[in-house]
Amino acid sequence: MLAFIIRRLVQSIVVMLVVSLIAFIMFRFVGDPVDQMVGLETTLEERAKLREQLGLNDPLPVQFWHFVSKAAQGNLGISYQFKRPVLQMIGDRLPATLELSFVSALFALLAGIPMGVYTALRRESILSKLFLTISLIGISLPTFLIGIILIFIFAVHLQWLPSFGRGKVVDLGWWSTGFLTVSGLKALILPSITLGLFQMTLIMRLVRSEMMEVLRTDFIKFARARGLSNRAVHFGHALKNTMVPVITITGLQLGSIIAFAIITETVFQWPGMGLLFLQAVQNVDIPIMAAYLLLIAFLFVTINLIVDLLYVMVDPRIRIEGKEA
Amino acid sequence: MSFRRSLLGATLLTSVFAMPALAENTFNFAFQGSLKSLDPYSLNETFTLGTLGNVYEGLTRRDPELKIIPGLAESWEVVEPTRWRFHLRKGVKFHNGNDFTAADVVFSADRVRSEGSDLKTRIPADAKFEIVDDYTVDVVLSSPNPILHYEWDTWGIIDKEWAEANDSVRVTSASDQAATPISLQSNGTGAFKITKHDGGVNTTLVSNADWWNAANKKYNVDTVEFSTISSDATRVAALLSNEMDLVYPIPVQDIKRVESNATTAAMTGPELRTIFLGMDQKRDELLYSNIKGKNPFKDQRVREAFYHAIDIEAIKAKVMRNLSTPSSLMISPFMFENAAKIERLSYDPDVSKKLLEEAGYPDGFEVSMDCPNDRYVNDEAICQAVTAMLARVGVKVNLNAQPKAQYFAKVLASGGFDTSFYLLGWTPGSFDSWNVLSNLIGCRDDAGNGGMFNLGGYCNEDVDALTNQVLVESDPNKRLDLITQAYQILAAESGYIPLHQQGLAWGVADGVDLKQRADNVLMLYHVNKK
């Protein structure tokens, strides 16, 4: 087990180095950071001096080396635009993204699994057809459109929920949370639905097909033959056996929820990391872009590791094979 | 006893009824861009300077019509052409309670010209500030400068003592390893103080009861909540849903919607920014064209042909939905009194075709156009319209519309002026023609020394000579005459193709009264809310 973890950690570091290298190569094409940092009237000499100070004249490998060696010491640089340490800024924005991702993942699971089970068991009912239609919308409409539609219905028309931002947040010193105020909770509803709709659909469809598959297998027939109640068969045996792929997908999707929160955060002006990243791209704020990409790479790598470990716990077969190997 | 009790009751009752009057009057507004650093000298950009102008005040101010009025200086006089005397306002206090004196002015004048400041152009580098007494400052110049104080409304005075005590003497720069206190908190003399600032997200300002002008204050808001909402649709939604009292800008296509909504209205007016087309007239061969060996834009007939091909009224009606003012000038008529003396070339495709034929391009030619797509109002749509109009006279334009970061990296000096034909917008920060003449119209070399934003490299030495005279001429009438001559030469040569002044569009909730300044700045001391 230890060897497995160490092997994975080494792989992770390689992945992150590759990601940051690719990112650095891409930064050459996003525009000139100096033009975005100064006002129009700044003279050419001033601009040249600033470029020199920021180390933008160094050759790419040198810039990359500076970045990696500083990052290894936990220093991700200063934002060109905000003139604040990037790590501090990401730390400020992280709670917003994590809370949003957590709530939308929860929404996706709590709505997706029951809907999947229901549509698998009552294939012909009207409700099942309704669920499938909704899920089709969830998969086919782009996120920003869903967000805007929700805003126009619930914020502009009905005026029940806020159209942007996090509402009032409580600052706990190291974490700012929207869970403790009414406006904070209300502000979470629309963005989490927007962000979670795709995942909900995915989970629902996955549970449905897996469940239908499992229901046809012999051991369900035997379970029924033993006279077990429908409830025990469906939830005790069938659902439990559909869970392995659901865990994999949920785990992997958690990473993409955080990473793809960019669009939802932009539509709802949600002050998270995704919004920070998008604005950084528009303003060529290289330190923020580099740090964000590194962080997302780290997140995916960690999630994959955890998912692999979870497999081992959930499925005894993998455990046994591991021992033999 | 019973009298006492009823008195007590009455007091209680009054206090209960008095509660609503004490309630905070909060004004919520949202803007597309964000307030980043709070250091008032670290970015020369309209929104940042405008918003911080509510907190830090300059020696002068601008009124709603943009006229210069006294700010922290009560009055000033030009003692001799190279010596200006400023009489400072007495009894002004910074938000931390410190007194405002001449020492603060001198300190700020040094700081604004120091390393890292983006506002160095506010004061000539060799101007000397001399303290005459605690409330009088002399500015000694090396040459006369009639527009010395034109941009002093955006150069806010900082408290010397506070800055020194808080490690904020140097201007925060991006190569710093830690944020300076002044980039995170503020201490000005203005009508509002910043109590909470989350850069790029939201900022809270509260009314300053000790403001020097509090006795004549014309606003009634106690708290101001500013939020950044960058997505157009969301910003409009936040207004329509009554969450916001003011949002700006409103996309032109949403103005009708805001107008037709029962509780909101659109507030529109001309902006100072001029949108224009520029052409590479410097290179011997265009970088992006099918004509090899020569540069068609060096031929005045070609430039005129392009000008005649533009149907500016169609752009106004179709692209700008009437929210633009067609212009014949490189500066807003608001800032140039002789605007009527210069007229646009007429829209006439036939003349245009004839001119192209005379110039030796009977079948037109091909050229690429650079255009931003997220910088000005409907910028990409304007370029598409121009492309279609030029196609009618036989010129094939290959449009290259990009986000501003990539666009500016390509066309500005840092990208080597890598363009043949482009669209750009310009607002002179000083509200004065000299800025336009020197930056856009002055000759430049290949590195960009000279007219740094003269991307096409238009060059006429007569215009440059006039520009140099404009800089030092103190007589307003003579000065205006020199400026007019320079603009007339430019227009006669069709050095640029001015398009229009774009419009301002703000969305305002009912019951909110405020002043829209043509430079797109909101002064919070003009805001009243029912």
Q: What is the pLDDT of residues B171-228, one digit of tens each?
A: 877 666 677 889 889 999 999 999 999 888 999 999 999 999 998 888 999 999 999 9
**Considering chain B, what percentage of its residues have pLDDT values greater than 70?**
95
CA distances from B498 to A78, A146, A304, B270, B301 (A): 40, 41, 57, 15, 17
Q: What is the largest CA-CA distance in chain A?
A: 86
Per-residue pLDDT at B20 exceeds 50: no
Distance CA A77, CA A289 (A): 11
Pairing state between β B136-140 and B83-88: antiparallel
Beta bridge partners of B454: none
Distance CA B73, CA B85 (A): 10
Residues of B in contact with A38 (CB under 8 A): 43-44, 118
Beta bridge partners of B506: B267
Greater model confidence, A139 or B68: B68
Question: What is the three-class DSSP state of B9?
Answer: helix
pLDDT per residue over B290-319, tens digit each?
999 999 999 999 999 999 999 999 999 999
Distance CA B112, CA B125 (A): 10
Residues of B in contact with A50 (CB under 8 A): 173-175
Q: Is the pTM of this model over 0.90?
A: no
> Residue A31: what pLDDT?
79
Cβ partners under 8 Å of residue B205, min gap 6: B54, B55, B192, B193, B194, B195, B223, B224, B226, B524
> Residue B21: what pLDDT?
43
> Residue B441: what pLDDT?
95
Q: How many CB atoms lie within 10 A of CB A91?
A: 13
> Touching check for B412 and chain A: CB below 8 Å?
yes
Question: What is the three-class DSSP state of B474?
Answer: coil
Residues of A in contact with B195 (CB under 8 A): none
**With an 8 Å Cβ cutoff, are A37 and B174 in contact?**
yes
Per-residue pLDDT at B15 exceeds 70: no
Q: How many CB atoms lie within 10 A of CB A235?
A: 12
Residues of B in contact with A95 (CB under 8 A): none
Per-residue pLDDT band for B7 (boundaries 50, 70, 90) equals: very low
**With an 8 Å Cβ cutoff, are A38 and B43 in contact?**
yes
> Residue A39: what pLDDT?
77
Residues of B in contact with A44 (CB under 8 A): 413, 447-449, 452
> Residue A243: what pLDDT?
81
**Closest Cα in chain A to B413:** A44
> Residue B194: what pLDDT?
96
If phi over 0 gives left and psi between -120 and 50 gives alpha, with beta otherwise, what is residue B155? Answer: beta
Report all structural domains of chain A as residue ranges with CATH numbers, in order of start: 86-324 (1.10.3720.10)
> Residue A317: what pLDDT?
67
> Touching check for B452 and chain A: CB below 8 Å?
yes
Structural contact between residues B334 and B272, judged by C-beta atoms closer than 8 angstroms: yes
Listed by number, the residues of chain B in 131-170 with a beta carbon closer than 8 Å to a beta carbon of chain A are none
> Residue A314: what pLDDT?
66
- Mean pLDDT in each 10-residue stretch from start to end of chain A (325 residues)? 77 86 83 80 81 84 86 84 87 92 92 90 88 84 90 92 90 86 93 91 89 85 83 80 80 80 92 91 88 87 79 65 48
> Residue B207: what pLDDT?
95
Q: Taking residues B78-101, report their average pLDDT.
A: 94
The token duo for B233 is 């649709």
Q: Taking residues B509-519, report their average pLDDT.
A: 92
> Residue B369: what pLDDT?
97
**With an 8 Å Cβ cutoff, are B234 and A269 in contact?**
yes
**CB burial readout B302-312, b (16+ within 10 A) else e:** bbbbbbbbbbb
The alpha carbon of residue B152 is apart from the nearest alpha carbon of chain A, in Å, by 15
Residues of A in contact with B409 (CB under 8 A): 31-32, 35, 284
> Residue A69: what pLDDT?
87
> Residue B9: what pLDDT?
44
**With an 8 Å Cβ cutoff, are A282 and B374 in contact?**
yes
Structural contact between residues B189 and B72, judged by C-beta atoms closer than 8 angstroms: yes
Question: What is the three-class DSSP state of A91?
Answer: helix
Q: Taking residues B86-99, report their average pLDDT.
A: 95
pLDDT per residue over B108-137, tens digit each?
999 999 888 888 888 998 999 999 999 999
